[in-house]
């Protein structure tokens, strides 16, 4: 509905796809701020536990590992989480992620690097026995 209501404001400075993603991201972030105790990732986990859900972007071998990844993603700051989801779950090009997030390409790359470090740390806490040694 927001996209339909905002159609007249589309200036064509970016692609239609980017403009729609921007509306979606803003709407999602506003919702998360309002519902502080519930997050998008928790709702995905709840849905995945009640139905047979396999997101094509999830590269983990099974649902337990995917659930651990989503739980770790829930610990990320909103900007890192948004960049990570758009880049790795939605598989969007980095420049498009930058356009959607209204930031620079370097900022998105920085967010992704910090997100990976934070995710690695969270997953190592959850699975200390699975840590790979650096050779």
Domains by residue range for the chain, with CATH: 15-127 (1.10.10.10)
Q: Is the pLDDT of residue 57 over 50?
A: no
Placement of tokens 């420049």 in the chain: 95
Q: Kindly report the pTM of this predicted structure.
A: 0.58
Q: What is the pLDDT of residues 28-53, one digit of tens each?
A: 777 666 665 444 555 555 554 444 45
DSSP state string for the chain: -HHHHHGGG--SSS-HHHHHHHHHHHHHHHHHHHTTT--HHHHHHHHHHHTT---TT--SSSHHHHHHHHHHHTTS-HHHHHHHIIIIIS---HHHHHHHHTS-HHHHHHHHHHHHHHHHHHHHHH-GGGPPPP-
Structure tokens at 61: 């071998």
Percent of the chain whose predicted confidence (pLDDT) is above 70: 71
Q: What is the distance between the alpha carbons of residues 78 and 6, in angstroms, rounded to a whole number?
A: 24
Site of tokens 């071998």: 61
The pLDDT tens digits of the residues spanning 80-96 come to 999 998 898 888 899 99
* Local confidence band at 7 (pLDDT 50, 70, 90 cut-offs): confident
> What region, left, alpha or beta, does residue 102 occupy, with left being phi > 0 and alpha being psi -120 to 50 degrees?
left
User: 112 and 83 in contact (C-beta within 8 Å)?
Assistant: yes
Residue 93 has a pLDDT of 92
Tell me, what's the pLDDT at 81? 92
Tell me what pLDDT residue 94 has. 94
Task: Enter the tokens of residue 101.
Answer: 């997030």
What's the chain's average pLDDT? 77
Condensed to tens digits (0 to 9), the pLDDT of residues 116-132 reads: 999 999 888 877 777 66
């Amino acid at each position: 509905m927001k996209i339909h209501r905002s159609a007249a404001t589309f200036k064509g400075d970016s692609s239609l796809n980017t403009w729609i993603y921007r509306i979606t991201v803003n709407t999602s972030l506003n919702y998360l701020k309002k519902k502080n105790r519930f997050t998008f990732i928790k709702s995905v986990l709840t849905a995945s536990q009640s139905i047979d859900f396999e997101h094509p972007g999830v590269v983990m071998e099974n649902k337990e590992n995917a659930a651990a990844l989503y739980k770790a993603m829930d610990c990320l700051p909103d900007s890192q989480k948004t960049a990570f989801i758009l880049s790795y779950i939605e598989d969007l090009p980095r420049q498009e992620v930058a356009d959607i997030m209204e930031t620079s390409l370097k900022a998105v790359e920085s967010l992704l690097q910090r997100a990976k470090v934070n995710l690695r740390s969270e997953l190592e806490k959850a699975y200390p026995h699975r840590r790979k040694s650096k050779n």
